[in-house]
Amino acid sequence: MGIVRAVDVAGGVDGELAVELTTGPLGALAARDGRLYGTDLEHNEIKMLSAGGHVTTVAGTGTQGDTGDGGPATAAALDLSKGLNRYQAGLTVDAADLFLAEPSRARVRRVDRTGTVTTVAGTGIVGEPTDTGPARATQLGFPYQVTAAPDGSIFIVDLYDILSAGTTGLLGILVHH
């Protein structure tokens, strides 16, 4: 069993990770540098708990949506819902970037070290992925997990496929079911 402790719950939008995640937790991810990221289904936000105990919102406005590409991640509307499906939005982090699979929006987004959000894979329209071409120009079926590799590429678990998106931005199908 783990230990649950309250962390920075003085009030406000930030500082409430433990409270916020109890209303709709989707997942959590521990980064190598000690930061903890948590996704919140109900509020469509990603929170970060620093190694020093400070909580901040790193992405999401609190409103479900699909806006904000190219701008600040905290001004972007995210869709962390899973609808009637059993799959949850996936979250991963590499040395510099945070990656988020949005199953309901058929895409994968990145929050870079400057706090800018961009779509790195998927068009936002559900469809069959293609094995060639830019990752941003191909449809995804239902991406629900993403993992970052040391070289900067990402691996996406889609409904029927495992895909790779390299640092060149091209998408490849590794496994098709």
Q: For residue 3, is it within any domain?
A: no
The answer to whether 16 and 43 are in contact (CB under 8 A) is no
Q: What is the DSSP string of 46-80?
A: EEEE-TTS-EEEEE--SSB----TTSBGGGS-B--
pLDDT confidence of 120, banded at 50, 70, 90?
A: very high
- Domain presence at residue 158: yes
Residue 9 lies in a domain: no
Rounded-to-integer distance, Cα 36 and Cα 30, Å = 5
In this structure, is residue 99 part of a structural domain? yes
pLDDT at 21 over 60: no
How far is Cα 116 from Cα 70, in angstroms, rounded to an integer? Answer: 6
d(CA 148, CA 152): 7
CA–CA distance from 71 to each of 112, 115, 151 (Å)? 11, 8, 25
21 and 40 Cβ atoms separated by less than 8 Å: yes
Query: What is the pTM (predicted TM-score) of this model?
Result: 0.82
The reported pLDDT for the residue numbered 162 is 94
Count CB atoms within 10 A of the CB of residue 24: 15
| SS3 category, 22 | helix
- The CATH number given to whatever domain includes residue 55 is 2.120.10.30
Q: What is the pLDDT of residue 23?
A: 55
Whether residue 2 is contained in a domain is answered as no
Mean of pLDDT values over 47-52: 86
**Position 67 in a domain:** yes
For residue 59, the model assigns a pLDDT of 95
Beta-carbon count within 10 A of 6 CB: 9
From first CA to last CA, the distance across the chain in angstroms is 37
The reported pLDDT for the residue numbered 118 is 96
Question: Domain for residue 1, yes or no?
Answer: no
pLDDT in tens, 78-91: 988 765 445 556 88
Number of structural domains (the chain) is 1
